[in-house]
């Protein structure tokens, strides 16, 4: 199973990332504090690899965040999506998670 596409919107310091992943490896290069670790945390969160959700997952000044990761193999795609929304005037987030599986494997 391979990551094919990643879409991240307003997650921590990542405002709008929409990328296709080619090849077998991902190499993230950049200056400190530019979002490399947050890119990985977003993928972990969408796939349920981590049970720890960031204290402030939504980009400062925004009301919602979204992460979508598409895995694929042999022409089949599996989409994992997580959405965060502000609850009220408090600075907490409500996790809304939905997993769309276009093809089930038994």
pLDDT in tens, 26-61: 899 999 999 999 999 999 988 888 767 767 888 989
Phi, psi of 37 (to 5 degrees): -65, -35
Least confident of 8-12, 59-63, 72-76, 87-91: 87-91
Please provide the average confidence, as pLDDT, over all residues in the chain: 81
CB 67 within 8 A of CB 40: no
- Strands 2-11, 64-73: pairing is antiparallel
- Global pTM reads 0.79
Give the whole-angstrom CA distance, residue 64 versus residue 94: 10
Spell out the residues 6+ positions from residue 24 whose beta carbon is closer than 8 angstroms to its own: 2
Confidence of residue 101 (pLDDT cuts 50, 70, 90): very low
């Amino acid at each position: 199973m391979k990551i094919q596409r990643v879409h991240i919107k307003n997650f921590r310091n990542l405002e709008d990332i929409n990328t296709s992943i080619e090849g077998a490896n991902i190499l993230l290069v950049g200056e400190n504090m530019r979002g490399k670790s947050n890119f990985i945390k977003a993928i972990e969160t969408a796939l349920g690899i981590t049970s720890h959700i960031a204290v402030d997952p939504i980009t400062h000044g925004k009301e919602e965040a979204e992460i979508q990761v598409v895995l694929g193999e042999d022409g089949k795609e599996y989409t994992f999506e997580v959405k965060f929304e502000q609850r009220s005037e408090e600075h907490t987030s409500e996790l809304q998670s939905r997993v769309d599986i276009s093809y089930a494997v038994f």
